[in-house]
């Protein structure tokens, strides 16, 4: 899979490439002139696009009967879900969640979160840095489903949580649109007030074009899951990890023994700074990251890895490789060869 710069794109957890189905839906929506809150024919046409997308997202997420509240992304959905609730979370949560919670839940060495009181807790379904997948407890208040949606077979109605957070661009939809998923009968206090859109929970004219793309991407993502596409991705990820392990035996693959996303490898080579590795790989033609995209450029130990018990040296030495359906065996083997050569150069300088 090539990025616009010609790089081999290995940073799917930061954002997935736009799906052709999403692009087509967005282009079609651009020709619909009406405001979805208007009652005339043009407005009804725009409303139909929004409601079709709402149904597509609900079906793909296994959330039939739940309320889908469209937002500007999972960050806004987190604020809408978590404001004023005083929930507990762990240090492995995304900043968009931990900003609203008391960071007090323990994490074991495998990345599993210990949840004594699910009804008062927020727990992610999968970690964006390590790929570690959580076994969500029954009765959970909120779960960030962003990284799992489109990569794991999920059924919101069976997860046992009251609210979920999702984002379009992580599964091949456009950036700048997401949703809060509410178990039927629940409500939240609107942060944005005005025209009463989204059932009074999120005012402001709906982003019809972005929402159309989100719906189409969600539907396509569900097809991929049903067709076993991500099982193939897991095979490519395993080939990558085998090649890396044979090349550099001091590198730790975080979460290796735990349930993980099928596409994610978090590599820790203590002492070799993650940001340095990212720059070296970028110059060599590979797009990877040192962790969550929202934290890139901030040279500090990973909160996620520190919460899992890794020391500061290790927590500043992580490289995340996250692949997708467009990445092939040759791509990851070329990456492994280039990375291993850089590792040898780094080790020679360090000794």
Distances (CA, A) of 206 to 87, 176, 179, 187, 209: 29, 12, 12, 19, 9
Phi, psi of 106 (to 5 degrees): -80, 155
Which among 107, 118, 98, 180 is positioned nearest to 145, based on CA atoms?
180
For residues 267 and 253, the answer to whether their CB atoms sit within 8 Å is yes
For residues 123 and 91, the answer to whether their CB atoms sit within 8 Å is no
Which among 336, 233, 251 is positioned nearest to 12, based on CA atoms?
233
- Residue 59: count other Cβ atoms within 10 Å of its Cβ: 14
Distance in angstroms (rounded) separating the CA atoms of residues 204 and 191: 11
> Rg for the chain (alpha carbons), in Å?
20
| Catalytic site positions | 294
Which among 102, 163, 171, 161 is positioned nearest to 137, based on CA atoms?
161
Distances (CA, A) of 114 to 53, 163, 235, 299: 35, 19, 30, 28
Q: Helices 229-247 and 329-350 sit at what angle, rounded to 10 degrees?
A: 30
């Amino acid at each position: 899979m090539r990025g616009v710069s010609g790089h081999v794109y290995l940073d799917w957890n930061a954002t997935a490439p736009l799906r052709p189905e999403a692009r087509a839906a967005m282009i079609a929506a651009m020709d619909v002139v009406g405001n979805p809150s208007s009652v005339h024919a043009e407005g009804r046409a725009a409303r139909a696009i929004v409601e079709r997308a709402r149904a597509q997202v609900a079906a793909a997420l296994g959330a039939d009967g739940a309320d889908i509240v469209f937002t500007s992304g999972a960050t806004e959905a987190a604020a809408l879900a978590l404001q004023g609730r005083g929930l507990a979370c762990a240090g492995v949560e995304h900043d968009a969640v931990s900003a609203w919670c008391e960071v007090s839940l323990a994490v074991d060495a495998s990345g599993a979160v210990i949840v004594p009181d699910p009804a008062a807790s927020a727990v992610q379904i999968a970690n964006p840095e390590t790929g570690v997948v959580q076994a969500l407890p029954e009765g959970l208040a909120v779960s960030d489903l962003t990284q799992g949606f489109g990569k794991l077979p999920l059924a919101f109605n069976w997860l046992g949580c009251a609210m979920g957070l999702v984002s379009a661009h992580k599964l091949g939809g456009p950036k700048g649109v997401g949703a809060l998923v509410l178990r039927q009968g629940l409500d939240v206090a609107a942060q944005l007030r005005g025209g009463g859109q989204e059932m009074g929970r999120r005012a402001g004219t709906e982003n019809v074009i972005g929402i159309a793309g989100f719906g189409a991407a969600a539907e396509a993502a569900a097809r991929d899951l049903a067709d076993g596409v991500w099982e193939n991705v897991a095979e490519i990820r395993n080939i990558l990890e085998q090649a890396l392990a044979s090349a550099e035996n001091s590198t730790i693959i975080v979460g290796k023994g735990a349930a993980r996303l099928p596409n994610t490898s978090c590599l820790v080579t203590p002492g070799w700074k993650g940001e340095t590795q990212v720059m070296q790989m970028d110059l060599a033609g590979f797009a990877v990251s040192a962790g969550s995209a929202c934290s890139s450029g901030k040279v500090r130990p990973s909160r996620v890895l520190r919460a899992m018990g890794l020391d500061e040296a290790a927590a500043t030495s992580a490289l995340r490789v996250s692949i997708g359906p467009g990445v092939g065996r040759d791509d990851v083997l070329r990456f492994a060869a280039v990375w291993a050569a850089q590792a040898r150069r780094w080790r020679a300088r360090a000794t």
